[in-house]
Amino acid sequence: MLESRPSEEPASALPRTLQRIVLTGFMGSGKTTVGRLLADRLNWPFLDIDRVIVAETQSSIPELFRVHGEPWFRQLERATIARCLVGQDPPDGPHRSLVIALGGGAIEDQGTRELLLGDSATRLIHLEASLPTVLRRCQGTEAERPVLADRESLATRYHHRLPLYRQAHHSLLVDLLTPGETVGSILALLRNDA
């Protein structure tokens, strides 16, 4: 669940008040891949909220949606994010600094947006990938992402979420960036927050 790696980038180059970097974006935008690399560079632990939920409930995300419905899941997701923001993610214990990757739909919950945008020690970063990029990156994952089968519904969902993602502290176009370049761009944005 919580991963920590050797440092390449001194976190001291970032604003001193910054304790959490939270990545949001549509499926295929690179949240988990970039999150791990960013955590590596900063020597901060990394959390993927979907993985935390799966580990704690012992159920897959699609199964939780099927059994309990989306409103219930969004409440669980918001509570999990809130707990992680204050460093109460058992069994790993409290962590001052953290990189977090959200599930693609977390941003739809107004309470989650308020939680992330209202915390002065957190920066919410939107990794913006165009729909063609998302489709290209997610090719071959249709079995685990059944929503990819219905392209019209997928496009509707993408365009509904886009303005919500763009409410983040920073929005970064990632279509033409490698994961490493995305990490460098995030760090540059955050250094300018100082």
**The pLDDT of residue 5:** 45
Query: What are the b/e assignments for 113-146, b being 16+ CB within 10 Å?
Result: bebbeebeebbbbbbbbeeebbbebbeeeeeeee
Give CA–CA dist 73/50, Å, rounded.
Answer: 11
Q: CATH assignment of 17-187?
A: 3.40.50.300
**Domain ranges within the chain, ordered by starting residue:** 17-187
Q: What is the pLDDT of residues 102-158, one digit of tens each?
A: 999 999 999 999 999 998 999 999 999 999 999 888 876 655 665 666 778 889 999
Q: What is the pLDDT of residues 11-53, one digit of tens each?
A: 667 888 899 999 999 999 999 999 999 999 999 999 999 999 9
The pTM for the full model equals: 0.87
Q: If 0-12 CB within 10 Å is exposed, 13-18 middle and 19+ buried, where does residue 35 land?
A: buried
Selection from 1, 22, 187, 190 nearest residue 101 by Cα: 22
